Amino acid sequence: MNTKINNLLFHKIAKPVTDLFNDKKYIPENDSAKNLIFNKFFTLLLYYYLMGLDSLRSLITDLKTNDNVSKIGLFHVGISTVHEAFYRYHAALFQKIYCYLLETLPVYQIDEFKQLGRFILTDGSIFPMAINNFWAEFKQRSKALKLHLCFELNQMIPTYFLVTSAKTDERKVFANIIEQAVNLYR
């Protein structure tokens, strides 16, 4: 794991998103957070991803021990504060930001793929869960969920993802994805 972050590079990558934080429609109304407001939480998630950290605990440790985090506007927060932020900020807010970025940023294109046509990869992966909920059913003694993902190789972006019970039939989900795509391009 790389513990050093390039301040200039981080801000260059984060700029399209941080520019959004000036627009009220991308900031939750009545943000009740005292320390970890939405834009700091988003920056924290971006830092987690770019640093290649493997868990929430490793993120908290890195924030505590890495002197460079203050250069990018981050600070030490407790694990419960970060955990609570995942509940406070709804996934629809992140989806809105993702859609905005897809609409406004130039899309990376691979010329060789462009000549061959559109390539979409699909996968259904099972992720074990420690919790016992109805949606995490897998086997009698094992709980899991399944992530179904479509990834457009031409643009290098995920175009569809769905989380289901791990027992969900992958062929039915795949057939549904194909049917939606065919109807979309009619």
146, β-bridge pairs: 126, 164
> 1 falls in which pLDDT band (50, 70, 90)?
very low
| Three-class SS state of 54 | coil
- pLDDT at residue 61 in the model: 92
137, β-bridge pairs: 143
At 61, phi and psi to the nearest 5?
-65, -45
Q: Is the pLDDT of residue 30 over 80?
A: no
Q: What is the DSSP letter of 75?
A: -
Q: What is the DSSP letter of 81?
A: H
Q: Is the pLDDT of residue 27 over 80?
A: no
- pLDDT at residue 73 in the model: 81
How far is 25 from 22, CA to CA, in rounded Å? 9
Q: Is the pLDDT of residue 20 over 60?
A: yes
Mean pLDDT on 33-54: 84
137 neighbors 143 (Cβ within 8 angstroms): yes
Residue ranges in the chain assigned as alpha helix (H): 7-20, 38-51, 56-65, 79-88, 91-104, 111-116, 170-184
Q: What is the pLDDT of residues 46-58, one digit of tens each?
A: 888 888 888 889 9
| Three-class SS state of 68 | helix
What the block records as the tokens of 170 is 């992958």
- pLDDT at residue 180 in the model: 80
Q: What is the pLDDT of residues 105-158, one digit of tens each?
A: 887 777 887 788 888 888 888 887 766 555 555 555 567 788 888 888 887 888
| Three-class SS state of 139 | strand
Q: Tokens 């493997």 correspond to what residue?
A: 54
Q: What is the pLDDT of residues 44-93, one digit of tens each?
A: 988 888 888 888 899 999 889 888 888 888 888 998 888 888 888 888 88
Among 162, 22, 39, which Cα is nearest to 93's? 39
Mean pLDDT on 163-180: 84
How far is 62 from 17, CA to CA, in rounded Å? 23
